Amino acid sequence: MHYTLHFGQVTPEIPYLLWGALISLELSVMAFAGGMVIGMVGAIMRLRGGRWLSRLARWYVTFFTNTPQLVQIYFIFFALPEVGILLDPFPAVLLGMTLNAGGYLTEILRAGLASVHQQELDAAETLGMSHLQTLRYVILPHIFKVVMPAMTNQYILMTLGTSMAAIFGVEELTGRAFNINSTTFRSIEIFLLTGGIYVLVTLAATSLLALVGRYAFRARVRIL
């Protein structure tokens, strides 16, 4: 293969790509935050919701973890307008990613919640803690310690998954790489660079989450 790499045409576009990475990050952080809210409610419904709420949460998880995320976003983007709900690309992708993350995080947090020791709950109760105090001082720190590695993985998968937004015209990192590619045709250089930026973004996010996990929750996670 006789190919000479020419990064000269691509390097001026680095700031443009980095701004795109910021949009990817924005998308993943917002979808993760929304997914956490759904996940917490879902996990509580699964374990403490009684027969019907638990079943409802299980159906939700089954649906969103057994269909491709791309199909889910396509559905939101192209099918919802038929019933009068027209979303711009960014909110459509965000909604799709949030609902999908909600499914996975429900399962992750359910496992964390199920691992809270009854003995610690008994101790909290006899020490006089209210439900809210027990949640704050005992349950949540325990859950986060246990689920931190799984949650970090989920977050990385979501960050990488934001590249799907490019298909819908969101100009995040991959979308911007597509744009540069269509004018310069330096595909190898562009996608090498784009891949490198994804690595940096996910490594930064993993390290940050590992630091939080290790120092706030004593989670056994490796920092790089």
Partner 1 sequence: MSFLDIHDLGARYGSLRVLDGIDLSVEQGEVVSLIGPSGSGKSTLLKVITGLMKPDRGRVTLAGAAVDYSNRKSLKAARDRLAIVFQQYNLFGNMTVLRNVTVAPTTIKKRNRRQVEEKARELLDRVGLGDKLHVYPDQLSGGQQQRVAIARALCLEPEILLLDEVTSALDPERVSEVLDTIRLLAKDNIAMLIVSHEMSFVRDVSHRIAFMADGRVQEIGSPEQIFDNPQTDRTRDFVGRISRVGH
- Name the site residues for partner 1 (rule: CB under 8 A): 117, 119-120, 122-129, 133, 137-138, 141-142, 145, 217-218
Least separation, in Å, of the C-beta of 211 and partner 1?
17
Nearer to partner 1, 142 or 186 (CB): 142
CA distance 155 to 36: 11
DSSP at 167: G
Nearer to partner 1, 33 or 127 (CB): 127
Least separation, in Å, of the C-beta of 120 and partner 1?
6
Q: What contacts 54, CB < 8 A, 6 or more positions away?
A: 45, 46, 47
CA distance 158 to 153: 9
Least separation, in Å, of the C-beta of 148 and partner 1?
12
Nearer to partner 1, 64 or 144 (CB): 144
Nearer to partner 1, 6 or 131 (CB): 131
Nearer to partner 1, 21 or 113 (CB): 113
CA distance 210 to 224: 9
Nearer to partner 1, 120 or 171 (CB): 120
CA 196: distance to chain centroid?
A: 20
Least separation, in Å, of the C-beta of 151 and partner 1?
16
68 within 8 A of 110, measured Cβ to Cβ: no
Cα-trace Rg, the chain: 21
CA distance 154 to 167: 21
Residue 198, Cβ density class (10 Å: 0-12 exposed, 13-18 middle, ≥19 buried)? buried
Least separation, in Å, of the C-beta of 72 and partner 1?
36
Least separation, in Å, of the C-beta of 131 and partner 1?
10
